[in-house]
Structure 1
Amino acid sequence: MDKLFSLFENADPFKTWWPAIAAVVFGAIIMVRTLMSGQRCPNDNQIRDQIVIVTGANSGVGLETAKALAARGGRIVLACRNMAAGERMARVIKRELTCQRIGADAEGEFFVEARYLDLRSFESVHRFARRITGEFERIDVLINNAGIIFGSLGGRTVDGYEEHLQVNYLSHFLLTQLLLPHLRRSPSGGRVINVTAHAHAAAKIDFDDPLNVGTWSVKFHARDAFAHSKLAVMLATRWLARQLKGTPLTVNCCTPGLVRSTGHLRNSPLMSAISVKLMTFPWMWLFMKNPFEGAQCAIRLATDPKLKNVSGEYFNDCEIAQSSLHGRDIALAKKLYMQTIKELEKVTKLTIDKDIEGETSPLAITADSTEESHHRKLALEAPKKKHQGKQKQKN
């Protein structure tokens, strides 16, 4: 070892190739790392007092997204299943932002609060929506970020659906529908941001059963189930954007890219052995983003006024990107959307105001036996009665 050190110490850069090789290797590593880290959010716009909900915000990309939006003045709700972690992260965010802000001596000026949400249960989604709509008069941004990968093979939720499908897609779909009336009240135009993944390009999907819930449906491997759920997110985003056309509401989807240190790979077969973790760590550091870098695309979608009228698009590295062929199939998007409604009708009684062929009316949620749905129906019917009154006056 001493001989090796002396070789470097006594090396003449003009007579030996060691310094040149070291410089080239170091430069290549820095260049690759810079390219793989992706583009940063190109603006520092403030969203003062806007109400932002981020699902899965107690760690990873969701945490970094929430932290950045809180720093820009947003009132942030961390929608988490792990309330202990969510409340701890809320305190951490407020403490860090207070330390960063000159002259700020109290955490009170930052609103960052955790609320319980378990996406494995539609009932939990309903309870969360009821609490949020009772607590806030409007919602400005909804970021459907939470998700799972490498879930248990054949695992089913309490509602009977495959875990990846419900957590990554169905529950977020339901949550969006429940919060649409409040999103419409945003003076800046409500924004829905759905997080998908590069994996959508590898998804297997059947046009006759795009949700893969039929009697003869294919049983996916966990990796394929994740890809399938993320393609469903993208297709539903495109069709909902059509449904909301002509309104100030926008809905887009984005991919954070390949992100490390999120906990998503803890159940991966490749990460089960310590030796494999040690071997893959340098490559993960080099070729994968960290959570802060992965959050940049969602941050731009939530804050950039230039995207106020952009809807139904897929974003990667803060720019509009082209998705897979399936991801651009509008007929498939409609088929998936309609099947999703039929499935959720069993537990939420979703209906459509007008024929979906008209592509003009978003979903409404009709009443059931609960007080929650009764109040939601009244909120939905109020604009209709107002519109009908105007028509009678014209007549």
Structure 2
Amino acid sequence: MDKVMSLFEDADPLKTWWPFIIAVAVGVIVTIRTLMGGQRCPNVNQIDRQVVIVTGGNSGIGMEISKALAGRGGHVIMACRDLVKSARIVAMLKRELSCRTEGEYFIETRCLDLRSFDSVKRFARDIQAEFERVDILINNAGVIFHPESKSVDGFEMHLQVNYLAPFLLTHLLLPHLKKSDNGRVINVSAHAHATAKMDFDDPLNVGTWAVKFHARDAFSHSKLAVILATKWLARELKGSTVTVNACTPGLVRGTSHLRNSPLMSAMCVKFMTFPWMWLFMKNPQEGAQTAVRLATDPQLKLVTGEYFNDCEIATPSEMAKDKELAKRLFMETMRVLKLTGGDDEKD
């Protein structure tokens, strides 16, 4: 017994305990990644032959949404600016899905440039001419940290791509969405909406950006506008077969959105931040889960005007809950886009 005890006394602590230390470290890392990855879509429901439009479907979160919904039997139309890249992505997704199960998967791509309202109108006309209905519209495409610039239509780029163009697309496709038994509009927002400010007298903040521009503020403002307009449009469509909800994918790495981020400005910064991004940010597949649930879950058939995070209804910022601001923004957007509709007399 004395000899055994002497072995422990003479043992090097590092050599004795290193397997335990490594096991604990791995356990902590796995736990953090699991928590940061968020909740997965809790259902495996099929959406056989439902017509699904996903803007920005050829990369990042949009690509994962497209793959998931095509895998569930949907007829997915990836609405993208780059048709060459999109064609490659379509072929890749079909190969990946075919490797899982036998069968035919319906994924195609159409040209849509959210920087141009004319492009949005052409896309909507083509869809209306070819399809009898649209079942699901996912307004996923967007920009972040975009340098100060204006679209061909004269609007700040974050405002147009993230909010105005998706708003216009939704409005133009509403007649086809109403032909579906349960048309669903899913607008992708962001956690950043919570930091946004909005001028009640100028809810589109057109005048603000002419005076002082900051890409972070412009992005936040556009994502707040998405939630406010979602809530008011849901109210306008109450009693119809169409539901409208907003969601946040969370903080997601591995997307092209970060190419203009200050964190991506130098190789050394990328090298230093990558481990932390990997640990604390979702990958695109994890970021797609909430939108996938909103598109497929029959339990959400009557749920409208809500904001979702990690596949569950969440509470947005106080400003995002302001009904008067939502109404003002909605009406101003309709005016700016020269659209008709909306009921001013509703409470």
Question: For the superposition of Structure 1 and Structure 2, which TM-score range results when normalised by the shorter chain?
Answer: over 0.9
Q: CA RMSD in A?
A: 1.7
Decide whether aligned partners of structure 1 residues 149 and 15 sit closer, same or farther in structure 2, where only a CA change above 3 A counts.
Answer: closer
- TM-fit CA distance, 1:67: 0.2
Q: Tell me: CA distance 1:218–1:331, structure 2 relative to 1, closer, same or farther (3 Å).
A: farther
CA gap of 1:288–1:133, structure 2 versus 1, over 3 A, is same
Paired residues for 1:303-314 under 5 Å: 303-314=296-307
Determine the structure 2 residue equivalent to 1:377.
Answer: none
Q: Distance in 1 between matches of 2:33 and 2:222?
A: 29
- Please give the secondary structure, in 1, of the residue aligned with 2:138: strand
Work out whether residues 76 and 111 of structure 1, in 8 Å CA contact, stay in contact via their aligned partners in 2: yes
**Corresponding residue number in structure 2 for 1:124:** 119
- TM-score, normalisation: structure 1: 0.83
Q: Counterpart of 2:143 in 1: which secondary structure?
A: coil
Contact map agreement 1:197 1:256 (CA 8 A) in 2: yes
Q: Structure 1 residue 25: deviation in Å? A: 1.4
Q: Classify the secondary structure of the residue corresponding to 2:166.
A: helix
Q: Quick one: structure 1 residues 14 and 267, their matched pair in 2 at CA, closer, same or farther if it must change by over 3 Å?
A: closer
- 2:110 is the alignment partner of 1:115: yes
Find the residue that maps to 1:134 and give its secondary structure: helix
Q: C-alpha displacement at 1:152, in angstroms?
A: 1.3
Displacement after TM superposition at 1:216 (Å): 8.4
1: distance between equivalents of 2:310 and 2:191? 12
Determine the structure 2 residue equivalent to 1:54.
54
Residue in structure 2 matched with residue 174 of structure 1 by the alignment: 168
Aligned: 1:88 with 2:77: no
- Tell me, yes or no, if the aligned pair for 1:254 and 1:316 is still in contact at 8 Å: yes
Cα distance in 1 for residues equivalent to 2:343 and 2:72: 41
Q: 1:217 to 1:325 in 2, by over 3 A?
A: farther
1:270-281 alignment, distance < 5 Å: 270-281=263-274
Letter in 2 for 1:340: T
1:151 aligns with 2:139: no
Q: How does 1:252-291 map to 2 (within 5 A)?
A: 252-291=245-284
Give the CA deviation at 1:111: 1.4
2:344 matched residue in structure 1: 356
Residue identity (%): 67
Structure 2 counterparts to residues 28-39 of structure 1, below 5 A:
28-39=28-39
Write the letter of the residue equivalent to 2:240. T
Count of residues in correspondence between the two structures: 338
Query: Is 2:62–2:288's contact at 8 Å kept on the other side of the alignment?
Result: yes
Q: Give the corresponding residue for 2:294.
A: 301
Instruction: Indicate the residue corresponding to 2:131 in structure 1.
Output: 136
161 and 89 in structure 1: CA distance in 2 versus 1, 3 angstrom threshold:
same
8 Å CA contact 2:80, 2:112 repeated in 1: yes
Q: Does 1:210 align with 2:198?
A: no
| Distance (whole Å) between structure 2 residues aligned to residue 12 and residue 133 of structure 1 | 74
Change (3 A) 1:216 1:200: closer
The 8 Å contact of residues 55 and 78 in structure 1, kept in 2 or not, is answered as: yes
Task: Tell me the residue number matched to 1:373.
Answer: none
- 8 Å contact from structure 1 (residues 13, 20) kept in 2: no
| Alignment match, 2:8 | none
Deviation of 1:87 (Å): 1.1
Matched, 1:222 2:211: no
Bigger RCO (CA 8 Å, 6+ sep): 2
Aligned pair in 2 of structure 1 residues 344, 316: CA closer, same or farther (>3 Å)? same
- What amino acid maps onto 1:358 in structure 2? K
Partner of 2:65: 65
Deviation at 1:355? 3.9
Structure 1 residues 216 and 172, CA, compared in 2 at 3 Å: closer, same or farther? closer
Distance 2:223 2:188 in 1: 8
C-alpha separation in 2, matches of 1:258 and 1:68: 20
Distance (whole Å) between structure 2 residues aligned to residue 96 and residue 15 of structure 1 = 45
What residue in structure 1 maps to residue 230 of structure 2? 237
CA deviations over 1:286-345 (Å, ceiling 9, x no partner): 000000000000000000000000000000000000000111111110011011111111
Cα distance per residue 1:59-99 (max 9 Å; x no partner)? 00000000000000000000000111111111111121122
* SS of structure 1 residue aligned to 2:258: helix
Q: CA deviation at 1:16?
A: 3.1
Q: Does the residue aligned with 1:265 lie in a helix, a strand or coil?
A: helix
Matched position secondary structure for 1:53: strand
**Comparing 116-125 and 260-269, the one that deviates more:** 260-269
Give the gaps of 5 or more residues in structure 2. Answer: 1-10
The whole-number CA distance in structure 2 between the counterparts of 1:266 and 1:336 is 30
Runs of 4+ in 1 over 4 A off after TM superposition: 11-15, 215-218
Output the CA distance in 2 between the equivalents of 1:56 and 1:270.
23
Q: Which residue is 2:3 aligned to?
A: none
Report the Cα distance in structure 1 between the residues aligned to 2:71 and 2:12, rounded to whole angstroms: 50
2:29–2:279 Cα contact (<8 Å) kept: yes
1:12-31 to 2 correspondence within 5 Å? 16-31=16-31
Give the SS at the match of 2:49.
coil
Tell me which residue corresponds to 1:75.
75
